[in-house]
């Protein structure tokens, strides 16, 4: 039993505490059901919940129950990766001839799926400025079936007004999906605002240890049942029991880690705001963020990811990043480690971003050490260097971020 029917525990309690369960011999940790099939005692035994692990597994199901509860949804379906979850969620809502409205700063893997996969099957996509509800509503057509959101986005941290998007969508019977990875279930619950489906890359905050891939779609029983029968089981992007056990472990400390990461990120963002060579700090927790009031109205906190725009060249940015001690160069976020990425070095098919844009994931290290590490930014960007053309030597695929 996950929840006492008389009260709903807060996230810290919910993820840390399980009732005694004789089905698991009273085990404190959920057992790993590392098997492919579930047998029957007799040939005429009525079907039970589990038959074959592609169609359902007890360990994975325990994770799904917890994810659904944290997002205030009725059901969740787990997948082998975040992209498997995103692809299945979108496929479950559109058909040939449909039209999708998508925010223009969407995660690049999603953009590639929309442009290189769905367009092959006659689905049209329009990208819009997600910060403007007027731009979103103006893009609606008679055949619009889906509005795809990502709030905040993961480079410029732009928000969409979720309540306004829901109102516009429901007026035309249009489905809504949001990638809620950046905010996490701890700090934003879009289903409570009327969004139809929420997707997560569990690889990031929920896993939290940079050692597991996973994804999830959360929503109503009706929508998840439909997605599970076709887009999950038949496409086969299923989660393994061992993966589910690692994610269950990660969920135990999710609220605690998010609190620490958010506090440290706020400290770092405020520090960067005082550095003269930094033109802009993109982080919705800052009062200077153009959508800070919207963030306050629909979010309960902020994640670990931010970006800075510096006055300098690509060569200066690369030189500064390469000498940092506590920030490892990498593409992901949400783990325990601090990461940095010079966006201008990453081949990318999305609209052009300035070469001086640097993205940082703030980890669990002490913020005092991180600030001391990045304080060298003063000397690196005060140096006068000619821009030139830089051979980056990087061969990253941004779809892996």
Q: Answer for the pair 251, 334: CB distance below 8 angstroms, yes or no.
A: no
- Helix or strand holding residue 320 (H, E): helix 314-322
**Whether 165 and 296 share a structural domain:** no
Question: What is residue 396's predicted lDDT score, i.e. its pLDDT?
Answer: 36
Structure tokens at 33: 């059901």
Q: Which range of residues forms the domain containing residue 65?
A: 11-23+50-252
- CA end-to-end span of the chain: 36
Question: What is residue 151's predicted lDDT score, i.e. its pLDDT?
Answer: 98
The reply to whether 230 falls in a domain is yes
The reply to whether 238 falls in a domain is yes
**Whether 202 and 239 share a structural domain:** yes
**Whether 55 and 100 share a structural domain:** yes
**Whether 328 and 281 share a structural domain:** yes
**Whether 59 and 206 share a structural domain:** yes
Q: Answer for the pair 87, 113: CB distance below 8 angstroms, yes or no.
A: yes
**Whether 273 and 312 share a structural domain:** yes
**Whether 313 and 232 share a structural domain:** no
**Whether 70 and 156 share a structural domain:** yes
- Whose tokens are 């055949």? That residue is 143
Question: What is residue 385's predicted lDDT score, i.e. its pLDDT?
Answer: 46
CATH number for the domain harbouring residue 360 = 3.90.1150.10
Asked which of 252, 287, 322 is the last residue of a domain, the reply is 252
Structure tokens at 89: 């969620």
**Whether 194 and 310 share a structural domain:** no
**Whether 61 and 80 share a structural domain:** yes
Asked which of 211, 235, 252 is the last residue of a domain, the reply is 252
Instruction: Calculate helix-pair angle for 254-272, 367-374, nearest 10 degrees.
Output: 30
Q: Answer for the pair 349, 322: CB distance below 8 angstroms, yes or no.
A: no
Distant-in-sequence, close-in-space partners of 117: CB < 8 Å, separation ≥ 6: 87
The reply to whether 183 falls in a domain is yes
Question: What is residue 46's predicted lDDT score, i.e. its pLDDT?
Answer: 64
What strand order describes the sheet that includes 305-310?
278-282, 305-310, 357-361, 338-342, 327-329
Cα 155 to Cα 282: distance, rounded to the nearest angstrom: 8
The reply to whether 124 falls in a domain is yes
Cα 217 to Cα 179: distance, rounded to the nearest angstrom: 9
The reply to whether 32 falls in a domain is no
Question: What is residue 352's predicted lDDT score, i.e. its pLDDT?
Answer: 56
Cα 249 to Cα 31: distance, rounded to the nearest angstrom: 11
Asked which of 252, 269, 304 is the last residue of a domain, the reply is 252
Cα 381 to Cα 376: distance, rounded to the nearest angstrom: 9
3-state secondary structure 190-226: HHHHCCCEEEEECCCCCCCCCCCCCEEEEECHHHHHH
Asked whether the whole model's pTM tops 0.85, one would answer: yes
Cα 31 to Cα 376: distance, rounded to the nearest angstrom: 48
Cα 304 to Cα 152: distance, rounded to the nearest angstrom: 12
CATH number for the domain harbouring residue 139 = 3.40.640.10
Cα 273 to Cα 354: distance, rounded to the nearest angstrom: 18
The reply to whether 43 falls in a domain is no
The reply to whether 196 falls in a domain is yes
**Whether 271 and 239 share a structural domain:** no
Q: Answer for the pair 68, 74: CB distance below 8 angstroms, yes or no.
A: yes
Low-confidence ranges of the chain (pLDDT < 70): 1-7, 11, 20, 46-48, 347-355, 383-401
**Whether 243 and 258 share a structural domain:** no
Question: What is residue 378's predicted lDDT score, i.e. its pLDDT?
Answer: 86
Angle at 381 (CA atoms; ends 375, 385), nearest 5 degrees? 155
Structural domain total, the chain: 2
β pairing state of 215-219 and 75-79 = antiparallel
If you count DSSP H runs as helices and E runs as strands, how many of each does the chain have, helices first? 14, 12
Question: What is residue 321's predicted lDDT score, i.e. its pLDDT?
Answer: 96
């Amino acid at each position: 039993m996950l929840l006492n029917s008389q009260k709903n525990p807060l996230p810290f309690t919910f993820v840390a505490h399980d009732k005694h369960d004789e089905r698991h011999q009273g085990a404190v940790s959920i057992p790993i059901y590392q098997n492919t099939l579930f047998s029957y005692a007799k040939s005429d035994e009525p079907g039970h919940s589990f038959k074959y692990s592609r169609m359902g597994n007890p360990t994975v199901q325990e994770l799904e129950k917890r994810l659904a509860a944290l997002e205030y949804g009725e059901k969740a379906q787990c997948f082998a990766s975040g992209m498997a979850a995103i692809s299945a969620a979108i496929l479950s809502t559109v058909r040939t001839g449909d039209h999708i409205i998508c925010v223009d700063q969407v995660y690049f893997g999603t953009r590639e799926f929309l442009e290189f996969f769905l367009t092959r099957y006659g689905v049209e996509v329009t990208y819009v400025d997600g910060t403007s509800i007027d731009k979103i509503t103006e893009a609606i057509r008679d055949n619009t079936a889906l509005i795809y959101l990502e709030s905040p986005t993961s480079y410029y941290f732009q928000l969409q007004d979720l309540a306004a998007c829901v109102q516009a969508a429901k007026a035309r019977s249009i489905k809504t999906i949001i990638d809620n990875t950046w905010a996490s279930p701890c700090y934003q619950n879009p289903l409570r605002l009327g969004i139809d489906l929420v997707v997560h890359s569990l690889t990031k905050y929920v896993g939290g240890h940079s050692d597991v891939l996973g994804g999830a779609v959360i929503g109503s029983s009706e929508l998840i049942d439909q997605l599970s029968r076709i887009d999950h089981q038949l496409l086969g992007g299923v989660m393994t029991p061992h993966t589910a056990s690692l994610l269950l472990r990660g969920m135990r400390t999710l609220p605690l880690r998010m609190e620490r990461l958010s506090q440290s990120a706020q400290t770092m963002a405020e520090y960067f705001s005082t550095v003269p060579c930094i033109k802009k700090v993109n982080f919705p927790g800052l009062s200077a963020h153009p959508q800070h009031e919207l963030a306050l109205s629909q979010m309960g906190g902020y994640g670990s990811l931010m970006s800075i725009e510096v006055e300098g060249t690509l060569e200066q940015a690369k030189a500064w990043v390469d000498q940092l001690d506590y920030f490892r160069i990498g593409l992901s976020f949400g783990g325990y480690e601090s990461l940095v990425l010079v966006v201008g070095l990453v081949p990318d098919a999305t609209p052009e971003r300035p070469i001086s844009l640097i993205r940082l994931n703030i980890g669990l290290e002490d913020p005092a050490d991180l600030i001391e590490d990045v304080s060298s930014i003063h000397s690196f960007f005060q140096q006068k260097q000619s821009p030139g053309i830089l051979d980056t030597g990087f061969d990253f695929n941004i779809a892996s971020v």
